[in-house]
Chain A
Amino acid sequence: MLRQNWWKILCVILLTYTFVAGFLGQVPAKPILNETIRNYYFHIAMWFSMMIFFIISLVYSIKYLRSNNHIFDIYALEYTKIGIVFGALGLATGSVWAGFTWGAFWSNDPKQLGAVIALLIYLAYLVLRNSMTDVDKRARIGAVYNIFAFAMLFPTIWIIPRMVESLHPGGQGNPAIHADAHIAMVFWPGALPGWTLLGVWITTLRIRLELLTEQ
């Protein structure tokens, strides 16, 4: 998987499809949102991919703790990094989107605050790792912290923002736009796997580079 090519070609095809169908395809006409509804293929794909990367990272951290195999620690670290990058992009794109639909780039909305807290917890993972010089200690404590950071995604992103009032769709009986068939046809087969594969591609490059420098 690490050095195969077919899924990289698939990534390019899916992203091309996302850009073409994402801008030329039909979308539901909604007030306030207007054409910005097309951000669905980009902003939401960022968050969704981030969650996938954090899950992959979590799996590798658990694998590391079970086996003490140093390579799993590298995998966990690099997947966390790409997750943070995608999360930051999700935050930035969401802020731009909010600026033109909610009326302010930042409004201390529960969704926004929860996302920032979750990202800060993951940033602390990198700081914590860099505070230790012993490689085994760093890997072990890093893996344990990574599990904690993932657990913190539940309250900060998945539970609390949905229980309180928010401008963001998807909570409080406020339906998100999942139901629309046109959007689903671009998002699920195109945008989500396309962006995720791009992140995986970049991550595998970083992992391979890391393995090279260790030799």
Chain B
Amino acid sequence: MGLMAQAQTDSQHVEMADQLRANGKIYVVVAVLLVILAGLILYVARLDRKITRLEKGTSSKGS
């Protein structure tokens, strides 16, 4: 809705991904945080898989 209204009021305006830089650029912070979150989750998920592999290794040996 907001984008449509903007396009109507300014006919010369070229459609760009301006939203990402608008409103004090808070979107950039969100993007950075999501990258950090993704990195941390990836790290924990890999650790999870490693431990799973270890568990399978010990149980097959019958400990």
Q: B-contacting residues of A (Cβ < 8 Å)?
A: 3, 8, 12, 15-16, 19-20, 23-24, 198, 201-202, 205, 208-209, 212, 215
Interface contact B52-A3, CB-CB below 8 Å: yes
Interface contact B34-A19, CB-CB below 8 Å: yes
* Interface class of chain A by DSSP: helix
Residues of A within 8 A of B7 (CB): none
* Interface class of chain B by DSSP: helix
Interface contact B44-A201, CB-CB below 8 Å: yes
Instruction: Count A-B contacts at CB 8 Å.
Output: 40
| Residue B10, interface by CB 8 Å | no
- Which residue on B lies nearest to A207, using beta carbons? B51
Question: Min CB distance, B26 to chain A, in Å?
Answer: 6
Selected from B29, B48, B58, the residue in CB contact (under 8 A) with A205 is B48
Question: Min CB distance, B25 to chain A, in Å?
Answer: 11
Interface contact B45-A19, CB-CB below 8 Å: no
Instruction: Please measure, in the bound complex, the distance between the C-alpha atom of A20 and the C-alpha atom of B55, giving whole angstroms.
Output: 36
Interface contact B33-A212, CB-CB below 8 Å: no
Number of interface residues, chain B, beta carbon within 8 A: 18
* Per-residue interface assignment for chain B, residues 19 to 63, with 1 indicating a CB less than 8 Å from any chain A CB and 0 otherwise: 000000011011001100100010011011001101100100001
Question: Min CB distance, A91 to chain B, in Å?
Answer: 21
Interface contact B34-A16, CB-CB below 8 Å: yes
Residues of A within 8 A of B37 (CB): 12, 15-16, 19
Knowing A19-B33, A24-B27 are in contact, say whether A212-B44 is a contact too (CB < 8 A). Answer: no
Question: Min CB distance, B38 to chain A, in Å?
Answer: 9
Selected from B29, B44, B63, the residue in CB contact (under 8 A) with A215 is B63
Residues of B within 8 A of A201 (CB): 44, 48
Interface contact B30-A20, CB-CB below 8 Å: yes
Instruction: Please measure, in the bound complex, the distance between the C-alpha atom of A170 and the C-alpha atom of B60, giving whole angstroms.
Output: 54
Interface contact B51-A209, CB-CB below 8 Å: yes
Interface contact B26-A212, CB-CB below 8 Å: no
Knowing A19-B33, A212-B54 are in contact, say whether A8-B45 is a contact too (CB < 8 A). Answer: yes
Instruction: Please measure, in the bound complex, the distance between the C-alpha atom of A202 and the C-alpha atom of B63, giving whole angstroms.
Output: 25
Interface contact B30-A205, CB-CB below 8 Å: no
Knowing A12-B41, A24-B26, A212-B54 are in contact, say whether A205-B33 is a contact too (CB < 8 A). Answer: no
Instruction: Please measure, in the bound complex, the distance between the C-alpha atom of A24 and the C-alpha atom of B33, giving whole angstroms.
Output: 13
Instruction: Please measure, in the bound complex, the distance between the C-alpha atom of A15 and the C-alpha atom of B52, giving whole angstroms.
Output: 24
